[in-house]
Amino acid sequence: MKPRVYVTRIIPEDILDLLRSECEVKIWPEENIPVPREVLKKEITDVKGVFCLLTENFDADLISSAKELKIISNMAVGYNNIDVSAATNRGIMVTNTPGVLTETTADLTFALLMMTARRMGEAEQYLRRGEWRTWSPLLLAGQDIHNSTLGIIGLGRIGESLVKRAKGFDMNVMYYSRTRREEKERDLGIQYRELNELLKESDFVCVMTPYSEETKNLIDLPELKLMKRKAILINTARGGIVNEMALYEALKNGLILAAGLDVFEHEPVSINNPLLSLPNVVVLPHIGSASVNTRRRMALTAVNNLIQGLSGKLPDNLVNKEALK
């Protein structure tokens, strides 16, 4: 008998068919509405596997209601939506989709940096509102990207990909990360800085760490106060790594110049979030990995992880090997 799995969102049909060839699949049918928690709780009581998105909060309570569960396959590289230790304690494997979205997310991160530095969102709205009367020397003048200093917090896969883009713009690149990587410093031509030093020296700061207890509010008011008044903060990692209220204060009071955000503490972000009232903030709805090809690769990777886990193989992207003990 095929193992039963629950899929929390519609994915491309050919990839679903691959999953159907190995498993009995039930799918939440709404494309733009996440499965309500109570429905999810009921649906997973007797399944062996779940294919989920970062919109599903697999906390200890939800995990405990899934009595037969062997694997949670997340279609994302970040897996802070899953209580991994609760899953591990129950012997449930957790998998993610690293690598396949690295370049696409680095593209978006650099695009957001450019958009924020050169005030492209503001400029587009200005034109569409019919306010463009003439060319003017300082009209919508922003910050130069070339020859400026980029500070990357978290030199992992995406952080490293960002370096390549920055070097193409003749940027001076420094990084702070949990693990210092001296070989990468030599190979990529970048310099290590302690966090406070990086914040003081950078014109642009990009946050690229996962969200964890360690990185929660990593950038708070004291850190924002260290930054240059002309500095720009970009966060495409996770909301909650940057304290949103502190960021609002910093932007409103001119402690830093601008921010570009693809991620928020609570998603979807409320249109009443004060950050959205500021002209010097560029906001995007968590689309870092959103290219058609990359989203297909992520879905395929997540399906493969699920099939591997349910057929007794070691999934390619297992994040908790301890669950197998």
Q: Is 214 a known active-site residue? A: no
Tokens at 193, concatenated: 């800085």
The reply on whether position 98 binds ligand NAP by CB under 6 A is yes
* Residue 192, token pair as written in the block: 């290590």
Residue 170's SS3 state is coil
**Other residues' Cβ atoms within 10 Å of the Cβ of residue 81:** 18
Site string for ligand NAP, 21-60 (x = CB under 6 A): ----------------------------------------
Tell me which of ligand NAP, ligand GLV, none is bound by residue 236, counting a contact when its beta carbon lies within the kind-specific cut-off of 5 to 8 angstroms.
Answer: ligand NAP
Q: Indicate which of ligand GLV, ligand NAP, none lies near residue 93 (CB less than 5 to 8 Å, by partner kind).
A: none
Residue type (1 letter), 188: L
Q: Is 297 a catalytic residue?
A: no
Q: Which is nearer to ligand GLV, 233 or 255 (CB)?
A: 233
157 counts as binding ligand NAP under rule CB under 6 A: yes
Angle between helices 102-117 and 120-128 (to 10 degrees): 60
Residue nearest ligand NAP by beta-carbon distance = 156
Per annotation, catalytic residue among 201, 238, 244, 297: 238
Task: Name the nearest CA neighbour of 279 among 250, 249, 264, 259.
Answer: 259
Amino acid letter, 216: K
Alpha carbon distances (Å) from 198 to 67, 80, 152: 47, 26, 8
Please give the DSSP secondary-structure letter assigned to residue 3: P
Confirm or reject binding of residue 202 to ligand NAP (CB under 6 A).
no
Neighbours of 1 (CB within 10 A): 4
C-alpha span between 141 and 146 (Å, rounded):
15
Shortest spacing between CB 76 and ligand NAP, in angstroms: 7
Compute the distance between CA of residue 232 and CA of residue 259 in angstroms, rounded to an integer. Answer: 5
Query: Binding to ligand NAP by residue 210, rule CB under 6 A?
Result: yes
**Which parts of this chain interact with ligand GLV (CB under 6 A)?**
54, 76-78, 101, 288-289
> Is residue 286 annotated as part of the catalytic site, yes or no?
yes
| 154 lies in the site for ligand NAP, by CB under 6 A | yes
Of 9, 165, 286, 297, which one is the catalytic site residue? 286
Please choose, out of 123-131, 234-242, 244-252, 304-312, the segment that lies near ligand NAP by the rule CB under 6 A: 234-242
Q: CA-to-CA distance for 182 and 1, rounded, in angstroms?
A: 51
If one asks whether residue 208 binds ligand NAP (CB under 6 A), the answer comes out as yes
* Cβ-based nearer residue to ligand GLV, 222 or 285: 285
Which amino acids are annotated catalytic? 238, 267, 286
